[in-house]
Structure 1
Amino acid sequence: MLKNYYPSCLAISVSMLALSACGTSMQARPVADLPPGVAGIWKSNGYGYVLDATEEYPRLFHHTLEFCVEDTDTAALLSYYLTPDNLAYDSEGRAIYFSPTLEDYKIELQSIPRRPQTCGLELASDPLTVFDSFASYMDTHYAFFDLYDVDWKKAAAASRQNISSKTTDGELADILAELIEPIQDAHLSLELKVKGKERVLNPGRSSVGNALRRIAERDGTSIKKLNNQMMQQYWMTDVKKDILNGDGKMMADDMIQFGIVSDNIGYIAIAAEAGYAGKGEYSEDADLAVLNETLDQAISTFNEASAKAVIIDLSVNFGGYDFISRAIAERFAVQPSLAYTKYAADSSNQTPYPISITPYAGSRYTGPVVLVTSNVTVSAGEMLTMALRTQPNVTHVGETTRGAHSDVLEKKLPNGWRLKLSNEVYHDHEGKFWEGRGIPPHVPMQIFKPDNPFEGHVEAILSIIDRIDKGEFSAPSSSKPHHRGK
């Protein structure tokens, strides 16, 4: 599932199990080219999809009790994932189950005799209809109102009083922004255009993001400029120059850096769990192939140096694919384990679905691992955090993660705006729920200075290196670590 991937889609959340269209130019495959058994009409259990595969091309609708909005972009993406490898069928033909490439978690599509009456009808795009569809999507699918202490029905009803047929797009955007502001969810956003200009409403901001915003207001500069400056400093100065001394290696389309620090300590920084092949979204196989090549070289570097420990730095990690997260964790795993569970809160089946990791069959590092996170570790970066924390050779150090775990469910509004929200519930291997709270480290440590996030990261990593050199963070004896695992 492609989750929160910084370089794509205007640096906001995207997801593939949630069928994020994100401006795709992909064309839908004809129904005749889809696998046997797909022809028919289907309604998803949760997620709010109605799929009509009875015509020449599949049609996809976003359905609630009050609304039904057709989405040709998402229909094209769904047809891409409807392949024999990604489908399963029940024995009576009453349901099909689909998943993205390299994932086994599946969405159930139940056979229905006909489309809901509202699906396929022309829908108005006036301000009240747009608002009501937005409110309906949120009410039907959003999973965490209680977590953020929001009475959605009451808040939506109050906001609706401010809307009339004369409400402009800009005014409507402001009303929606105020409505969702209390929901500090990094996976909640609304992409829209006002007078031809793109705008993104996203109430969920990291502590670093909030600090940069305060600096921008103080200095009269743009938050976008400060964000770019910080990423440039973090990746090219902090990691490449100050930590790796210019001797590291940058691979995976510049998403991963690794090398040896302090003579015999391995270090790997991972900025995202996607984009490694440089081919954009929906290149899962290519991304995994590049990851494996990158990790082969990184693990070889660590093992040839007989590294006494490896630091996995996720201090700035924007997420990506869950299967990439698990593939990384498996290169440092010493035992099979449950990584996490998930279910859709808007589904009738809320049995937690277990997702596990198994030690990689090839080259891996099984000595002590120090995992470093911050409040900028988000989404699939948190799935990697969960997976690594199941291993006895891993010590989690740093700041609590962001707490945005659900895949992003995307919904099209009648006027073309796109809402993205959280509808899935994740628990870690111990059954603990960290959505909205973030995953707390075993060893708390400040990574970025609260008042100036341009400082702190290098000092924190150097402190960790020093503590490893002094014998801290060694693996428990029960893990029986060795450096050339298979």
Structure 2
Amino acid sequence: MPLSLMIARVLRLLLAAGALSGLVLAALWWSGKPPKETQGIWITNGYGLVFDISPVSIAIHEITPVSCIPWQTMPAHMGMVRRLAGYTFTAQGDDLSIAVADAVGDMRAYRVDALPDQCVNGRQAGPLETFDIFWRTFETHYPNFARYGVDWDARRDEAMAALAGNFDPKHLSDVMTHAVRDLDDGDIHLMTPSGDVSPHSPAPWDKDQRALWQVTDSYLTSERQFIETSGIRHGWLDGEIAYLGVHHMESEPPLGQTMASQAARVVDQLGALYADAKGVIVDLRFNAGGSDTVALTYAGLFSAADWPAGLKQTQITRGYMSPSTAFYGRGSQAALNAPVMVLTSSETSGAAETYVMAVGELAQVSIMGEPTNATPSNIMVRALPNQWQFTLPHQTYALANGTPVTQTGIAPDISYPFDVEGFSNGKDTMLEAALTRLAQAR
């Protein structure tokens, strides 16, 4: 056969194979497209988001009454969206439930006929409009003005007067920072080219965490171990008491898996290591939070079955909250039965407070230390037209019995101050008190 004919035959075979592969890929892609009942435009109750779901793409916009800023656009393949972006959509009539991986409780949305007007006929945003988006986001979603005694309407008037005639970016940043003064909330941040600013003032000792850890670790009678994927350092105290220093409530799962699944593997690992422990100390004094689902999974180290852990509400608009959503601790087959002391401080925040709420419902657990930071909430991350970003909390939490914790934090069972002077002398007196309590319980 002439070489030219051989080449032509090979090319035909390659083209046929390519066409077949393309058809297979197209069929696989088409099989993952959004169901017809899910397609359309949906506005969330709270969260300030619009989902525009078509057969080929999913576009998400951040909205306020005066703005619409594109946030994400992704291919509309439900399997890919679920595994890589963490969204699962379930439609029932004109209501949409949006489950988000590693978040507690689904977002709810309602169907609309068209994108909001501000998404279609938006105007170019200057400094005044940029501040207005910032202000309106807080006005709509932030639930804690009364806690800090802040008149948010007066803050807008003050800011608009300060901005008049001076549109320098640094000045705009200063005005925004001044607007949120006195909101001593660690979940509020403004990120600009000049840096990250927050109105929250952490405890003076917070900056010395690593030095304080070293004092605590000096009590270990075994080599300190560290679980890289979870930020947990651990070891034995007196050969019989397990010590777990939990730095944050996050984990690092493999691609396509959830943080909660990785956290469950950590629980299995710790359960096996400390199955013979006569007591456990969980140290959350330096824990600034992370994922609620990770926290609720870690709490399962002390319960074989799921249990009611607390309640949460999302602010829909100013003065109006969603119905309460219950959340649950996640039981584990690796659960330990030993008595537990959980150590807290004023810097125990966010999802670490969710953990305290959960384990506080268990009979074998006692909380020792200071009231927590009173900042449990998912965090909204919002963009501004000038590419700046800011964050704020938008939820309130309560214990399983309905007692609010967002205003006052979670009170310990056993009050004990964070002893800065003791640390400076090489002593962790709260840890020593917890060891004494566990010895008395045995």
**1:150 deviation in Å?**
1.0
Determine if contact 1:42/1:112 at 8 Å carries over to the other structure.
yes
Are residues 1:294 and 2:266 paired? yes
- Aligned positions of 1:67-466 closer than 5 A: 67-72=67-72, 80-81=81-82, 86-90=88-92, 92=93, 94-101=94-101, 103=103, 105-193=105-193, 197=194, 199-208=195-204, 227=207, 230-235=208-213, 237-240=214-217, 242-245=218-221, 247-253=223-229, 255-277=231-253, 285=257, 287-304=259-276, 307-333=277-303, 336-346=306-316, 350-360=322-332, 362-449=333-420, 458-466=428-436
Q: Distance in 2 between matches of 1:152 and 1:74?
A: 36
Q: Which deviates more from structure 2 when the two are superposed, residues 103-112 or residues 153-162?
A: 103-112
**The residue matched to 1:316 in structure 2 has which SS?**
coil
Q: Give the 3 Å change call, closer, same or farther, for CA 284–432 of structure 1 in structure 2.
A: farther
Determine if contact 1:405/1:426 at 8 Å carries over to the other structure.
yes
Determine if contact 1:260/1:301 at 8 Å carries over to the other structure.
no
Q: Distance in 1 between matches of 2:238 and 2:210?
A: 24
Q: Distance in 1 between matches of 2:120 and 2:424?
A: 51
Q: Distance in 2 between matches of 1:436 and 1:114?
A: 39
Q: Give the 3 Å change call, closer, same or farther, for CA 207–126 of structure 1 in structure 2.
A: same
Flag the structure with higher strand content: 2
**1:275 deviation in Å?**
3.2
Q: Distance in 2 between matches of 1:414 and 1:205?
A: 28
**The residue matched to 1:58 in structure 2 has which SS?**
strand
**1:311 deviation in Å?**
0.7
- 1:66 corresponds in structure 2 to 66
Deviations 1:409-447 (A, max 9, x none): 122212111121121121111211111422110101122
Q: Distance in 2 between matches of 1:73 and 1:319?
A: 28
**The residue matched to 1:231 in structure 2 has which SS?**
helix
- The structure with the largest alpha-carbon Rg is 2
Determine if contact 1:265/1:311 at 8 Å carries over to the other structure.
yes
- 1:223 corresponds in structure 2 to none
**The residue matched to 1:292 in structure 2 has which SS?**
helix
Q: Distance in 1 between matches of 2:86 and 2:186?
A: 34
Structure 1 length as normaliser, TM-score? 0.76
Q: Give the 3 Å change call, closer, same or farther, for CA 70–359 of structure 1 in structure 2.
A: closer
**1:448 deviation in Å?**
4.0
Structure 2 length as normaliser, TM-score? 0.83
- Count, aligned residues: 408
**1:159 deviation in Å?**
1.8
Deviations 1:271-301 (A, max 9, x none): 1111344x6xxx6835444433433332223
**1:181 deviation in Å?**
1.2
- 1:218 corresponds in structure 2 to none
**1:122 deviation in Å?**
4.7
Q: Give the 3 Å change call, closer, same or farther, for CA 409–75 of structure 1 in structure 2.
A: farther
The amino acid across from 1:405 in the alignment is P
The amino acid across from 2:215 in the alignment is D
Using CA pairs below 8 Å that are at least 6 residues apart, which structure has the higher relative contact order?
Answer: 1
Q: Distance in 1 between matches of 2:220 and 2:60?
A: 49
The amino acid across from 1:421 in the alignment is L
Q: Give the 3 Å change call, closer, same or farther, for CA 442–75 of structure 1 in structure 2.
A: farther
**1:61 deviation in Å?**
2.0
Flag the structure with higher helix content: 2
The amino acid across from 1:398 in the alignment is G
Determine if contact 2:230/2:250 at 8 Å carries over to the other structure.
no
Determine if contact 2:285/2:348 at 8 Å carries over to the other structure.
yes
**1:119 deviation in Å?**
0.6
Q: Distance in 1 between matches of 2:412 and 2:86?
A: 41
**1:34 deviation in Å?**
4.6
Q: Give the 3 Å change call, closer, same or farther, for CA 86–448 of structure 1 in structure 2.
A: farther
Q: Give the 3 Å change call, closer, same or farther, for CA 351–98 of structure 1 in structure 2.
A: same
